[in-house]
Chains A and B, each alone.
Chain A
Amino acid sequence: GQQLNQSPQSMFIQEGEDVSMNCTSSSIFNTWLWYKQDPGEGPVLLIALYKAGELTSNGRLTAQFGITRKDSFLNISASIPSDVGIYFCAGLETSGSRLTFGEGTQLTVNP
């Protein structure tokens, strides 16, 4: 099936630093989603993107739908300890009906 390449797999940063992560696909997507999962919980939707080039913010989080429609980026500014968790990207192909998930980026924030 379709694969999403999400990078990096893990990040260790200091509180206050900015964070960037991205997902790439070999196919064109018409929807990109970003989720965060805390230990023992279900994924929580952070940002949804539906148009190429779209840039959307949610507080300190900003995500972009790449203009090639094959990639997406998530940035977190001024990280805080509660940002710790696993961040997943998910994409929906133009011809598809099911989301494909990346394998996640594990974020650790040191106080």
Chain B
Amino acid sequence: NAGVTQTPKFQVLKTGQSMTLQCAQDMNHNSMYWYRQDPGMGLRLIYYSASEGTTDKGEVPNGYNVSRLNKREFSLRLESAAPSQTSVYFCASSPRVSREQYFGPGTRLTVT
């Protein structure tokens, strides 16, 4: 079992460029999440998907979109990257929303 995998590990974008962060889990979990982690801010929820076919906004959704492609995969898209989106992005999954979450290794994004 790989658990939660994320691609890419590192990415540098110019302001205004777009990109999609990929996440996949092989634990047959129903719920998946995207967080960003910034120094001094802890982990903040961007979007989550309680189950296949549903997505909901988290604490900081502005500037992002998500797609729950199937039960395994949950992608995060930046349509027009801004320097404020420089951060480390983590994907996580859980059996359902009220249970423990398991995190991927993260994507380190820099927007110049």
Contact mask A36-77 → B, CB, 8 Å, 1/0?
000011111100100000000000000000000000000000
Is B90 interfacial (CB 8 A cutoff)? yes
On whether the beta carbons of A98 and B102 are closer than 8 Å, the reply is no
Q: How many A-B residue pairs have CB under 8 A?
A: 47
Is B65 interfacial (CB 8 A cutoff)? no
On whether the beta carbons of A97 and B104 are closer than 8 Å, the reply is no
How far, in whole Å, are A12 and B95 apart by their CA atoms in the complex?
36
B55 to chain A, nearest CB (A): 13
How far, in whole Å, are A42 and B91 apart by their CA atoms in the complex?
9
On whether the beta carbons of A99 and B90 are closer than 8 Å, the reply is no
On whether the beta carbons of B43 and A41 are closer than 8 Å, the reply is no
Q: How many residues of B contact A (CB 8 A)?
A: 21
How far, in whole Å, are A99 and B99 apart by their CA atoms in the complex?
9
On whether the beta carbons of B103 and A92 are closer than 8 Å, the reply is no
How far, in whole Å, are A31 and B32 apart by their CA atoms in the complex?
18
Q: Which residues of B contact A (CB under 8 A)?
A: 4, 40-43, 45, 48, 50, 58-59, 90, 97-106
Q: Which residues of A contact B (CB under 8 A)?
A: 1, 30-31, 33, 35, 40-45, 48, 88, 90, 92, 97-99, 101-104
